Amino acid sequence: MTVIAPETKLERNILKKDANRIKGSALTALIKRPTKTTGPFSWVTSVDHKKIGILYIAVALLFFVAGGIEALLIRLQLFSPNSSVLTAVQYNQMFTMHGTTMVFLVGMPIIAGFGNYLIPLMIGARDVAFPRLNMFGFWVFLFGGVFIYSSFFLGGAPDGGWFGYTPLTSSPYDSGILPGNGTNFWAIGLLLLAVGSTTSALNFIVTVTNMRAPGMKLMRMPVFVWMMTIISFLTVFALPVFSAALIMVFFDRNFGTTFFFSATGGDPLLYQHMFWIFGHPEVYILILPGMGIVSEILPVFSRKPLFGYSVIVFSGIAIGFVSWGVWAHHMFASGLGPVAVSAFSVSTMLVGVPTGVKIFNWLGTLWGGSIKFTSAMLYSVGFIAMFTIGGLSGVTHAVSPADTQQTDTYYIIAHFHYVLFGGLVFALFGGVHYWFPKVFGRMMSEKLGKITFWIIFVGFNLTFAPMHLSGLAGQARRTWRYQEELGVTFLNQMATVGAFLIAFGVLLLVINIVKSKFKGEVTGSDPWDARTLEWSIPSPAPEYNFLEVPRVSSVDDFWHKKYEEDPDGRSILRDGVDLKEEPLRVTTEEAVSKYGVHLPSPSIWPMIVPLGMTIGAYGLVLFNWYTCAIGVAVTAAGLIGWAIEPDTENAEHGGAH
* Least separation in angstroms between CB 269 and other proteins: 6
Rounded distance, CA 42 to CA 361, Å? 43
Stretch that binds other proteins, among 242-250, 354-362, 429-437, 586-594 (CB under 8 A): 354-362
Burial of 2: CB neighbours in 10 Å, binned 0-12, 13-18, 19+ = exposed
* Least separation in angstroms between CB 550 and other proteins: 21
Rounded distance, CA 46 to CA 35, Å? 9
Q: Is residue 353 a contact point for other proteins (CB under 8 A)?
A: yes
**Residues 479, 483, 486: CA angle, nearest 5 degrees:** 110
Q: Which residue in 81, 267, 622, 652 binds other proteins (CB under 8 A)?
A: 267
In the chain, the largest separation of any two C-alpha atoms, in whole Å, equals 90
Total of chain residues touching other proteins, rule CB under 8 A:
111
Q: Supply φ then ψ for residue 528, to 5 degrees.
A: -95, 0
Minimum CB distance to other proteins smaller for 282 or for 403? 403
Q: Is residue 569 a contact point for other proteins (CB under 8 A)?
A: yes
Q: Which residue in 225, 234, 376, 488 binds other proteins (CB under 8 A)?
A: 488
* Residue list 133-172, contact with other proteins (CB under 8 A): 160-161, 165, 167-168, 171-172
Of 304, 295, 310, the residue nearest 218 (C-alpha): 310
* Least separation in angstroms between CB 61 and other proteins: 28
* Least separation in angstroms between CB 567 and other proteins: 11
* Least separation in angstroms between CB 296 and other proteins: 16
Q: Which residue in 227, 384, 597, 634 binds other proteins (CB under 8 A)?
A: 384
Rounded distance, CA 203 to CA 196, Å? 11
* Residue list 284-303, contact with other proteins (CB under 8 A): 302-303
* Least separation in angstroms between CB 161 and other proteins: 5
Minimum CB distance to other proteins smaller for 8 or for 370? 370
Q: Which residues contact 648 (CB under 8 A, 6 or more apart)?
A: 598, 599, 600, 601, 654, 655, 656, 657
Q: Is residue 217 a contact point for other proteins (CB under 8 A)?
A: no
Which DSSP letter does residue 160 get? Answer: S
Q: Is residue 583 a contact point for other proteins (CB under 8 A)?
A: no
Q: Is residue 396 a contact point for other proteins (CB under 8 A)?
A: yes
**C-alpha distance from residue 344 to each of 101, 321, 398, 405, 435 (Å):** 29, 14, 8, 17, 39
Q: Is residue 345 a contact point for other proteins (CB under 8 A)?
A: yes
Minimum CB distance to other proteins smaller for 440 or for 480? 480
In this structure, the dihedral spanned by the alpha carbons of residues 417, 226, 558 and 424, taken in order and rounded to 10 degrees, is -10
* Least separation in angstroms between CB 6 and other proteins: 58
Q: Is residue 553 a contact point for other proteins (CB under 8 A)?
A: no
Q: Is residue 311 a contact point for other proteins (CB under 8 A)?
A: yes
Minimum CB distance to other proteins smaller for 41 or for 490? 490
Stretch that binds other proteins, among 200-208, 336-344, 419-427, 612-620 (CB under 8 A): 336-344
In this structure, the dihedral spanned by the alpha carbons of residues 390, 509, 102 and 195, taken in order and rounded to 10 degrees, is -120
Note whether 414 and 470 are within 8 A (CB): no
Which DSSP letter does residue 524 get? Answer: -
Q: Which residue in 76, 236, 317, 357 binds other proteins (CB under 8 A)?
A: 357
Rounded distance, CA 20 to CA 581, Å? 48
* Residue list 65-124, contact with other proteins (CB under 8 A): 82, 84, 87-89, 91-92
Phi-psi region of 573 (alpha: psi -120 to 50; beta: other; left: phi over 0): beta
Stretch that binds other proteins, among 21-29, 215-223, 368-376, 447-455 (CB under 8 A): 368-376
Rounded distance, CA 449 to CA 149, Å? 31
Q: Is residue 565 a contact point for other proteins (CB under 8 A)?
A: yes
Rounded distance, CA 407 to CA 330, Å? 8
* Least separation in angstroms between CB 350 and other proteins: 7
* Least separation in angstroms between CB 112 and other proteins: 29
* Residue list 438-467, contact with other proteins (CB under 8 A): 465
Stretch that binds other proteins, among 145-153, 186-194, 472-480, 623-631 (CB under 8 A): 472-480
Stretch that binds other proteins, among 103-111, 259-267, 613-621, 633-641 (CB under 8 A): 259-267
Of 121, 138, 320, 310, the residue nearest 225 (C-alpha): 121
Q: Which residue in 27, 146, 177, 494 binds other proteins (CB under 8 A)?
A: 177
Q: Which residue in 72, 76, 349, 644 binds other proteins (CB under 8 A)?
A: 349
| Number of CB atoms found within 10 A of residue 251's CB | 16
Q: Is residue 561 a contact point for other proteins (CB under 8 A)?
A: no
Q: Which residue in 211, 395, 448, 644 binds other proteins (CB under 8 A)?
A: 395
Q: Which residue in 217, 368, 548, 582 binds other proteins (CB under 8 A)?
A: 368
Q: What is the DSSP string of 101-119?
A: IIIIIIIHHHHHHHHHHHH
Q: Is residue 8 a contact point for other proteins (CB under 8 A)?
A: no
How distant is the alpha carbon of residue 521 from its chain centre?
29
* Least separation in angstroms between CB 356 and other proteins: 5
> What is the three-state SS of 519-549?
HCCECCCCCCCCCCHHHHCCCCCCCCCCCCC
Q: Is residue 401 a contact point for other proteins (CB under 8 A)?
A: yes
Q: Position 348: which residue type?
A: T
Q: Is residue 321 a contact point for other proteins (CB under 8 A)?
A: no
Note whether 197 and 285 are within 8 A (CB): no
* Residue list 268-287, contact with other proteins (CB under 8 A): 268-269
Rounded distance, CA 477 to CA 182, Å? 21
Of 408, 438, 644, 613, the residue nearest 540 (C-alpha): 438
Q: Which residue in 56, 139, 261, 440 binds other proteins (CB under 8 A)?
A: 261
Q: Is residue 263 a contact point for other proteins (CB under 8 A)?
A: yes
Q: Is residue 262 a contact point for other proteins (CB under 8 A)?
A: yes
Rounded distance, CA 186 to CA 103, Å? 13
Note whether 299 and 306 are within 8 A (CB): yes
- DSSP-based three-state secondary structure for 476: strand
Q: Is residue 405 a contact point for other proteins (CB under 8 A)?
A: yes
- Cα dihedral 276, 281, 285, 286 sign: positive
Q: Which residue in 116, 393, 614, 635 binds other proteins (CB under 8 A)?
A: 393
Rg (CA), the chain: 26
Q: Supply φ then ψ for residue 541, to 5 degrees.
A: -55, 130
Of 587, 555, 654, 598, the residue nearest 123 (C-alpha): 555
Minimum CB distance to other proteins smaller for 45 or for 393? 393
Q: Which residue in 352, 540, 583, 646 binds other proteins (CB under 8 A)?
A: 352
Stretch that binds other proteins, among 273-281, 516-524, 562-570, 629-637 (CB under 8 A): 562-570
Minimum CB distance to other proteins smaller for 137 or for 316? 316
Note whether 180 and 156 are within 8 A (CB): yes
Q: Which residue in 44, 371, 458, 651 binds other proteins (CB under 8 A)?
A: 371
Q: Supply φ then ψ for residue 442, to 5 degrees.
A: -135, 155
Q: Is residue 486 a contact point for other proteins (CB under 8 A)?
A: yes
Minimum CB distance to other proteins smaller for 361 or for 452? 361
